[in-house]
Structure 1
């Protein structure tokens, strides 16, 4: 075959329907996805009643109006495959079927997510999608699924790029826009290849509801909030609209203190991690509802510029973080990692914030910026020193706007 014929053939292949499948769906996750997932609170103890009640609670509590939209069923929803190899939901736990459940969730203005795994079995021992990727994606599309969390258990011998790309192409071939969440735990540096494959990718192993700890299970560990934060070093440059670093699901309301919960939520907001709740929405106390529903903090996470925060100063347990926002605004976070409350007396002019990755700079000596505390609503400006007390394991989180 001559060179001209080869070029004609390549062009024909590129224009074929199969080539059109070789990309994720655009228009999803323009800002980090927001929703709820069953795993952190319920693990395998799930059924359709829980999912319906959680969808109702998301609406009733005002979380839907605050921006949360996905109700995601994690592991253990699976029954067996039928004689054709089609995956079925557990008939005891989900007797009405997934299509009816999706219809129920959609009727409330929400979206339904589901879970599978690259291997023969899921982490919970249910049927995985290996060898059934196109079949499963077609089934999910027929059910009306809107979100797929795809795990990395039973993956020995598999190529992460290959396994996740196969499911990406299967979703595309099923012809239903499904947000694709890669749960690969950061084992194969997904930030380097996943932006073309999915809408978010896990950067670490699983989270644990503690401030700064490691819960070891021998061959793997769960990590506290500070450990996960530290694992994000160098990763902000890879993320942006439609492709996000995922620091795992939120543990707000799962056993930490209120100050730790506010810090946890603030950090996820500042670093543009998806906001996927893990608590029981049906019975949460008002204190938890106020944290996860705080719209001023959510707005920082959902800012359309899509630039994650950078740490620009650290001394002892205190860290200063800044996040460029749309319309030439900024978010500013003071984090106290320490065990005691600390007084803060910050001269705004002492630092020039220089974001060399995304080319933003902030010099408080050149203009006055007005700030609003995203948690308390208190206001001030940068013409005066910032005086505050930062609680142990706590934050001060401000939104800054230039001029009057």
Structure 2
């Protein structure tokens, strides 16, 4: 009798136990997104918490009128401080004074321009700016973002006491999957927990460092944390290139082009982010760009290096007299080559292609000018520079680059 009762009990309980499979979470990101590094704009570097819907609409307009959309920039991303309060059911709402029309209407406006829309949240109880974070509300927030038409979520790491990064980001990924709208997930964990080791299955990009600082070569010490100049961030990418590729990118933070560095430093900064196959999220006021800033950000020949379908991150090949030689293998046997002058004064470059054969251990691509002649083009001067039969000779100004494309 006991065995019969146990059997009947299992028959009754069985369906309930089997239904537990309905609650198994999918911690894998949406496939097919960001197959080349994402390109767009973010509000933080220039505006910090001073965001509102009028400014976002104007930025979307400027993205189109400036030629940035035609150059490939897609995302309009609102960073911190858009948040209002949560309602009685826990759903987040935007700040009604700053965004009186609501986020759905703003996303529709951005989409109407042929662009995509992004927002910001945080894995902790509060965002870095003190607004409501997503901790404990991940699935509600994901549903809300999906209802608004969000395409991109930057997810920060402030006020996360007791949380483990990998698990916290898996939770928001599961929430996004449950909500059903494909969104790019930008993991903004600052590289503390080596997100490059677990990020490729969880998000489309992950920050490799702390925040960028609008300076070419310096460190801004805030006491308990530091922000980093362009060259410091470049150095911190060493050893990470094997983790990047189509759909999963190392993110050395947003661009500072147009925010106060001199033109040659902006050009060098932009060149290196392209060589690193980094996401290109601009952080300037694109409504009021100088012609020089616009020309840097919309140089399609340079952008083609970043958006190359092979998706291989460049690497430092050699250093001589403050000049670094960087190489990036590209599809169809092409190579991008950048001579970065880290000194303040001009430096001469004399590079003998034939004497410097290269085999990239990661991609297995080969550059051997002794057996193959390549054509050479200067991507900033936008002119051809002969072939690799002769050495490349140039004088690179201080804090500047010479950026070349080699093809057969």
Give TM-score, length-normalised by structure 2.
0.94
- 1:305 corresponds to which residue? 310
How many aligned positions are there? Answer: 392
Distance 1:401 1:129, change over 3 A: same
Shift of 1:18: 5.3
How far apart are the structure 1 equivalents of 2:348 and 2:321? 13
Structure of greater Rg: 2
Structure 1 residues 320 and 18: alpha-carbon distance in aligned structure 2, compared to 1, 3 A threshold? farther
Counterpart of 1:204 (choices 187, 200, 209) is 209
What's the CA shift for 1:351? Answer: 1.1
Residue 44 of structure 1 aligns to a residue in which SS?
Answer: coil
**2:405 corresponds to:** 399
Tell which deviates more after alignment, 341-350 or 393-402: 341-350
Distance 2:405 2:156 in 1: 36
1:258 aligns with 2:263: yes
Q: Which runs of 5+ in 1 are unaligned?
A: 1-8
Q: Distance in 2 between matches of 1:149 and 1:100?
A: 20
Unpaired runs of 5+ residues, structure 2, are 1-13
Partner residue of 2:177 out of 172, 180, 202:
172
RMSD of aligned Cα (Å): 1.6
- C-alpha separation in 2, matches of 1:72 and 1:146: 9
Give the structure 1 partner of residue 395 of structure 2: 389
CA contact (8 A) 1:31 1:304 kept: yes
The residue aligned with 1:322 is 327
2:194 is equivalent to residue 189 of structure 1? yes
Q: Could you say which residue in structure 1 is the equivalent of 2:7?
A: none
Match of 1:345 in 2: 350
User: 2:332 is paired with a residue of what secondary structure?
Assistant: helix
Q: Deviations over 1:258-296 (max 9, x none)?
A: 111000000000001100000001111111000001100
Equivalence for 1:158 = 163
Deviation at 1:17, TM superposition (A): 6.1
Match of 1:42 among 38, 47, 53: 47
**CA deviation after TM superposition for structure 1 residue 354, in Å:** 1.9
User: Deviations along 1:117-166, whole A, 9 cap, x unmatched?
Assistant: 00000000000000000000000000000000000000121100010000
1:4 corresponds in structure 2 to none
* Paired position in structure 2 for 1:95: 100
TM-score, normalised on structure 1?
0.95
Paired residues of 2:154 and 2:187 also in contact (CA < 8 A)? yes
